[in-house]
Chains A and B, each alone.
Chain A
Amino acid sequence: DVKVTQSSRYLVKRTGEKVFLECVQDMDHENMFWYRQDPGLGLRLIYFSYDVKMKEKGDIPEGYSVSREKKERFSLILESASTNQTSMYLCASKRTGLASGNTIYFGEGSWLTVV
């Protein structure tokens, strides 16, 4: 079974702090994603990465950056946390190619509260 692990389930940070959300997948997937989930807005893509050191902006990249130094690890960075970044953050991974279709596997989520 694919396992996507988000190291921090619940975090409380202060406005202006730098925040790191870490994600590791164990299935050698090429693609990794960061989404955030907000009531009434669904899941919105922040960034994704299709290979080590490669990244592409999603729909709402402002205020975020990412790092992918190793294939299995994808980090989301909030350079200076703000209260409007309080949300549930979901990491996901997917293998490239038609064989796996478009099945994305999600982690359990990280609840971030910025005060």
Chain B
Amino acid sequence: DQQVKQNSPSLSVQEGRISILNCDYTNSMFDYFLWYKKYPAEGPTFLISISSIKDKNEDGRFTVFLNKSAKHLSLHIVPSQPGDSAVYFCAASPNFGNEKLTFGTGTRLTIIP
């Protein structure tokens, strides 16, 4: 049972445009959400996070939006750059500080120059 779902396995976006990656979850106990980025043959690296007490968190070109009633979050990258081409995983945990994360299936983002 996939509790964190990324329904788009891949996404292609023109350089300079906005990339929007989506993530849905089913477990209402999830309270803290993160995005990780992964290049081929490397481990994932932390990108940005959001707690359920907020609906938006920004860090430079990256913004995460959380719609708790819809159990949906999204990652916006603007403007998209070639170095953003990677696989993006969303992850969730029941509370801030919980040791276990549940990951989604990933979305491969390709930025077209």
User: Which residues of A are in contact with B by a Cβ distance under 8 Å?
Assistant: 4, 31, 35, 40-45, 48, 50, 58-59, 90, 92, 94, 96-98, 101-109
Fill in one digit per residue for B77-108: 1 if any A CB lies within 8 Å of its CB, else 0. Answer: 00000000000010101001111111111100
Cα distance, A106 to B97, chains bound together (Å): 17
Other than the given A43-B103, A102-B98, 19 more pairs (CB < 8 A) read: A40-B105, A42-B4, A42-B105, A42-B106, A43-B44, A45-B100, A58-B100, A96-B97, A96-B99, A97-B97, A101-B49, A102-B32, A102-B93, A105-B46, A106-B44, A107-B43, A108-B43, A109-B42, A109-B43
B41, B43, B49, B101: which has the most chain A beta carbons within 10 Å?
B43
What residues of chain B lie closer than 8 Å to A103, measured between beta carbons?
34, 46, 49
What residues of chain A lie closer than 8 Å to B101, measured between beta carbons?
45, 102, 104
Cα distance, A90 to B89, chains bound together (Å): 14
Residue in chain A with minimal CB distance to B95: A102
B16 at interface (Cβ–Cβ under 8 A)? Answer: no
- Least CB distance from B89 to A in Å reads 6
Cα distance, A102 to B6, chains bound together (Å): 20
Cα distance, A92 to B46, chains bound together (Å): 12
Are B97 and A44 in contact, CB atoms less than 8 angstroms apart? no
Cα distance, A41 to B4, chains bound together (Å): 11
- Least CB distance from A6 to B in Å reads 8
Total CB contacts across the A-B interface at under 8 A: 64
Cα distance, A40 to B106, chains bound together (Å): 7
What residues of chain B lie closer than 8 Å to A92, measured between beta carbons?
43
Residue in chain B with minimal CB distance to A50: B99
B67 at interface (Cβ–Cβ under 8 A)? Answer: no
Task: Kindly list the 8 A-B residue pairs having the minimum CB-CB distance in the complex, ordered from nearest.
Answer: A106-B43, A42-B105, A43-B103, A98-B97, A42-B103, A103-B46, A31-B99, A108-B43
Fill in one digit per residue for B23-65: 1 if any A CB lies within 8 Å of its CB, else 0. Answer: 0000000001010000001111110010000000000000000
What residues of chain A lie closer than 8 Å to B99, measured between beta carbons?
31, 48, 50, 94, 96
What residues of chain A lie closer than 8 Å to B46, measured between beta carbons?
103-105
Pick the residue among A42, A102, A104 that contacts B97 (CB under 8 A): A102
